[in-house]
Chain A
Amino acid sequence: MSETIGMVIISIGVAFDLFGCIGLVRLPDIYNRLQGATKCVTLGTCLILVGVLVHSGGAMGIKALLCAIFVLLSSPTGAHALARGAHRSGVKLWKGSVMDKYAEDQEGKLDQ
């Protein structure tokens, strides 16, 4: 029983990873792509790891759960660093973007 549930959870996780990858291809600029990459891929990967926990249990399950927590903590931090670095090195927002307060404030220099 737990094997079946584990497999179902892993399948849902893979589906979310797939959506994340489609987003990575379809969305227009780096900031939007990071949105797809962080949200869908984080939840997808966490679901796969939780699926492993339900499927196998025991020592492997505990390790999978710890990995899920690390992914949950590190993936948004990584996305934040990438977005900040991209903006500071001059990557422009997509032409359809509505506003860019970060550039208006010159990356925070005017906000001191």
Chain B
Amino acid sequence: MATRIFQFLIIFILWLLLTWSLAPQEVIVGVALALLLSIMLYDVFLQGSEKLVQPARYFWFLLYLPVFFYYVVRANLDVAYRVLHPEMPIRPGIVKVRTSLKSDMAKTFLANSITLTPGTLTVDIIGDHLYIHWINIVTEDPQEETEVIVKRFEVFLRRIFE
């Protein structure tokens, strides 16, 4: 039940922010839509809602944001450099790395973070393994690849989502 109420509130607040108006007709449609969506999406959305009320997770999330944005900016300069360089210094391939994260939410965020950061694009997640397209492979040892690609986010994501 708590999960449903959380879900309803999140969708409703999003609706209010997006319409940015408190006119009765907007609010009524918002309530109706939020109710409908929270009933429809019950199975796919927000498993383990008790995690939402643990402040330590938000603290780690705030710490994670600057690290994440630092890597996003670096990724962009890296891609811009490779694209604008006359000889295009790329050495692409798909590598396989292992993650120690368990929950789906954490894996999703890990995959998205990897996609947005330097030279890597998640192709598939199967069990504990991530298949990652890497634009410039620097090593062929799976251990080192895991070290380079996954470890810098795992530390944070484990504390936020698990």
Q: Which residues of A contact B (CB under 8 A)?
A: 16, 19-20, 22-23, 26-29, 31-32, 34-36, 38-40, 42-43, 59, 62-63, 66, 72-73, 76-77, 79-80, 83-84, 87, 93-94, 96-103, 105, 107-108, 111-112
Contacts and interface: CB of A to CB of B under 8 A. Distances in A.
Nearest to B73: A43
Interface stretch (B2-10, B30-38, B74-82, B149-157): B74-82
Nearest to A69: B14
- B interface majority secondary structure: mixed
Contacts of B135: 32, 35
B101 interface: no
Contacts of A31: 92, 94, 121, 123, 133
Contacts of A97: 92-94
Contacts of A96: 90-92
Given A59-B20, A93-B92, A99-B140, A40 B127 contact: no
A76 to B, nearest CB: 4
B106 to A, nearest CB: 15
Interface string B123-137: 110110101010101
23 contacts: A16-B76, A19-B80, A19-B83, A23-B83, A26-B83, A27-B90, A28-B90, A38-B121, A40-B76, A40-B83, A43-B75, A62-B20, A73-B112, A76-B122, A83-B133, A93-B93, A96-B92, A100-B93, A102-B96, A102-B131, A108-B126, A111-B127, A111-B129
